[in-house]
Amino acid sequence: MDHYLDRLKNGTLKLHALEKELPVQEAVRVRRAFIERETGVPLPRIGDFTFDPSRAVQRNIENMIGAVQIPLGVAGPLHLRGDHAQGQFWLPLATTEGALVASVNRGCVAITRAGGAVVRLIREGMTRAPAFAARDVAHAVEVVRWVEGNLPRLQEAAAATTSHGRLTGAACYLAGPTVFVRLEFDTKDAMGMNMVTIASEKAAGVIEQETGARLIALSGNMCTDKKPAAINMILGRGKSVVAGIQIPEAVVQGVFKTTGPVLADVNYRKNLLGSARAGSLGFNAHAANIIAALYLACGQDAAHVVEGSSCITTVEQGEGGVYVSVTLPAVQVGTVGGGTGLDTQREALALLGVAGGGDPPGSHARKFAEIVAGGVLAGELSLLGALAAHHLARAHRDLGRGKA
């Protein structure tokens, strides 16, 4: 090992090149030893992991030195009555936030006692939006009209890059002489960002060649990826999912120790009025908590919690109880590609019955999206219940979360 450490130190060997000279496991070990020597910080636990580093180095990470472990809990069973997710599910939740799993678990209890949540996937489509510079506004309008009249040409170009994804639409937006083309794709069981980026590059080349507009950026931020954006709330991105359930008054009182009218009032004043007054793009209690925990456990791109946090939670009083729902317009999930092939993440997906590609293609990702919506509904119910009963701080104290 000293030979490689000396070469790394004198610059004749680069950190990223270790895998070209050593087996992956050894390359990771040498790189970690170099960082330990350079910083004087021992990293024995970071070097202790169970998944196969070969796949991670090939597809998921550069300059790998080990892995960071996140505690994994389970909540459930959660009874769902979806088009794709039907039955009872145990939710794998990876988090370091104490009380989160317990909270989601309580929501699962209420939903299951009430007969199960209805969940529906209402639309899907992953987007990428290249930005083009036209000569002037007249030329920009010509570009828009060409795109609108030549979708088959763009579909043909995109299809040459993938056998799995399919370009389904192209919408144009102007800002002076700048043209944004929001391309939308069906990506089957993949979350699909790599797929649509490569396909969009091919389609953008056709637009550039045929219109004379100059491609400025393959992503022009009208996608919109990993940033809060009204366009994703309105049009959706990835999977758009809704979930709802009628909770009888007896269940509200038995599980949450409050009443339906109080639950509805908390939601109205907190999630709706409070969010509106703050100018928030999300109208929910803590949807991001559940989305992040599921994404981390199941090998998803954790940054997409940004779009997921645009959830809208509603609580409506009715005869004998309350109807609670969540609307998630932008859930980006996949069951193949990305981090889903790592050993531990694949096991978490298998726990949900969605590991790998579905039959027919796309069915596993749709099922997973409905499960995410059901999990968010459970989390929203529980936190609203804790706030309504003034139990939030007590729960954290009882679980030792307030101690240093």
**Catalytic site includes residue 52:** no
**What span, in angstroms and rounded, lies between the C-alpha atoms of 63 and 61?**
7
* 186 DSSP β-pair partners: 166
| Two structure tokens written together for 353 | 């019955």
**What span, in angstroms and rounded, lies between the C-alpha atoms of 350 and 334?**
13
Q: State the pairing for strand pair 131-133/178-186.
A: antiparallel
Q: Tell me if the bond preceding 77 is cis, omega within 30° of 0.
A: yes
| Two structure tokens written together for 354 | 């969605």
Helix, strand, coil percent content, the chain, rounded in steps of 5? 50, 20, 30
**What span, in angstroms and rounded, lies between the C-alpha atoms of 9 and 26?**
17
Q: Tell me if the bond preceding 258 is cis, omega within 30° of 0.
A: no
Read off the DSSP letter of residue 190.
B
H/E stretch holding 173 reads: strand 166-175
User: Hey, CA dihedral for 332, 335, 337, 343, is it positive or negative?
Assistant: positive
Give φ, ψ of 8 to 5 degrees. Answer: -65, -40
Q: Out of 26, 36, 97, 201, which one is annotated catalytic?
A: 97
| SS3 assignment for 360-379 | CCCHHHHHHHHHHHHHHHHH
**Catalytic site includes residue 84:** no
Could you give the dihedral angle defined by the CA atoms of residues 160, 166, 171 and 172, in that order, rounded to the nearest 10 degrees? -20
**Catalytic site includes residue 396:** yes
Give whole-number Cα distances, 343 to 53, 67, 222, in Å.
10, 13, 34
Give φ, ψ of 49 to 5 degrees. Answer: -145, 165
Q: State the pairing for strand pair 72-82/117-128.
A: parallel
Give whole-number Cα distances, 109 to 102, 113, 288, 378, 383, in Å.
11, 6, 20, 8, 13
H/E stretch holding 118 reads: strand 117-128
Q: Out of 249, 301, 316, 347, which one is annotated catalytic?
A: 301
Q: Out of 139, 164, 391, 396, which one is annotated catalytic?
A: 396
Read off the DSSP letter of residue 352.
H
Query: Which residues are annotated as catalytic?
Result: 97, 301, 396
